[in-house]
Amino acid sequence: MKIFYTLFFIVGFTTSLSAQIKCNGTFRTEKETYRNGQTRFEYSYCNDTCVRVDNYRKDGVLIGTKKYSYTPDTVSIMNVYREDGSKVIYERQINGRDDGEYYIYYPDGSVQLEAMSKNGIRLSERIYNEKGVLTIETLCDEQGMNCISKAFDEKGNVIKEKKIKASKVVYKPVK
């Protein structure tokens, strides 16, 4: 079973949805898509707090909506498991924003991806191969805009280094 996510951030100032949610501040949406480009999840945020998640089928049909309300400093921990009981994802949020550790695991339980976020901003990300060897490391400033990404060979030597000035974050499918 392959688990993959394509996540991209879109700043959406959708007036009707913003009014429907009764957001009296900054309203935005984020979308997670299937490989076919159809929306899988659409997250709605009011003042950087997740207030609604819409879930869609691969053909684009809405199958469910979950609304959230948060009191200040609400901590949410999410664990996702495979059918065999092995953990796929661990995620920590505060007030609906990524804040803390985020992990994706291989079926054997080893770490495939580990990331750290603060106030909804991804600060670091490390990707490991099936043997547990670090293959890519990305470190960003506190705004998540200026990042340095390094690729490593099997022996841990840097084989490629790239500076990234982010305008939006795009997560590619995890193989």
Domain that holds residue 18: 1-69
The reported pLDDT for the residue numbered 62 is 86
Together in a domain, 82 and 153: yes
pLDDT computed for residue 150 by the predictor: 94
Which pLDDT does position 23 carry in this prediction? 73
The whole-number pLDDT of residue 15 equals: 44
Same domain, 145 and 156: yes
| Residue numbers in the chain where pLDDT is lower than 70 | 1-22, 70-72, 166-175
Exposure on the CB side of residue 111, measured as CA atoms within 13 A: 15
Residues 28 and 51 in one domain: yes
pLDDT tens by residue, 118-134 = 888 889 999 999 999 99
pTM: predicted TM-score of the whole model, two decimal places: 0.57
What whole-number distance in Å separates Cα of residue 53 and Cα of residue 70?
14
Q: Cα separation of 175 and 112, whole Å?
A: 10
